[in-house]
Amino acid sequence: MPNRSLDELISAVKGSPNISSAGMLLCHNGFVRSTSRIEGKPVAELEVQVDHEKVAEIREWALGLPGVVAVEIEPFEGKFKVGDDLLYIVVAGDIRENVFEAMRSTIERVKAEAVSKKEY
């Protein structure tokens, strides 16, 4: 099944039943960089595996965060080259402080708990 586009995720969030109580929508677009985060070594390719059940669990958790009214998470699975998209997250909520914190913590959880990566 092909991944949803960032535009599709934004449309899904804007179509949420509680969107009228939101004042902000924030998007995350993670992609493959040319060097590893920790060691700074060159990266030509990245292989990603996704635990989709864990992603769904994290989404439900994020929906319960203060001020959050809608969340969509779309991780990409497979082999990717530098510049390829890896992860889309869209969060809508009442005020920016709540939306920024929800996005930060959702990204951290997805990366720590739902995806595994191998660099080549």
Which pairs with CB-CB distance under 8 Å and at least 24 residues apart come from 93-97? 93/22, 93/23, 93/24, 93/65, 93/67, 93/68, 93/69, 94/21, 94/22, 94/23, 94/24, 94/67, 94/69, 95/23, 95/24, 95/67, 96/23, 96/24, 97/67
pLDDT confidence of residue 2: 87
Domains of the chain plus CATH, in order, are 6-30+47-76+87-119 (3.90.1170.40)
Mean pLDDT of the chain: 97
Q: What is the pLDDT of residue 105?
A: 99
Q: Would the pLDDT of 1 be above 80?
A: no
Average pLDDT over residues 82-100: 99
List pLDDT tens digits, range 48-67.
999 999 999 999 999 999 99
